[in-house]
Amino acid sequence: MGRKRGQGAGRNGRDSPGQRRGVKVFGGQRVVAGNILVRQLGTVIYPGLNVGMGRDYTLYATADGTVEYQDR
């Protein structure tokens, strides 16, 4: 007979993968219409000229061009 009793399964050992948020295209880079620029949670960055915002606050290019960020 073993001296130790069997251990039940621990409650730890799970972790969710990251959600890949953040800036996808940086200032000065060229984009085509439809490219995703930023994935964000809420309006951390607001859309400007030729930029649209999706239902999940994703910013995307609505026209071809060069990306430019600026302070408000």
Mean pLDDT along residues 19-38: 98
72 in Cβ contact with 33 (< 8 Å)? no
In a domain, 56, yes or no: yes
In a domain, 13, yes or no: no
Per-residue pLDDT, 52: 98
Query: In which domain, by residue range, is 39 found?
Result: 22-66
pTM for the model stands at: 0.81
Average model confidence (pLDDT) for the chain? 94
CATH of the domain at 47: 2.40.50.100
Residue 11 pLDDT more than 90? no
- Tell which phi-psi region holds residue 36, choosing left (phi > 0), alpha (psi between -120 and 50) or beta: beta
In a domain, 39, yes or no: yes
Stronger pLDDT, 46 or 11, i.e. the higher one: 46
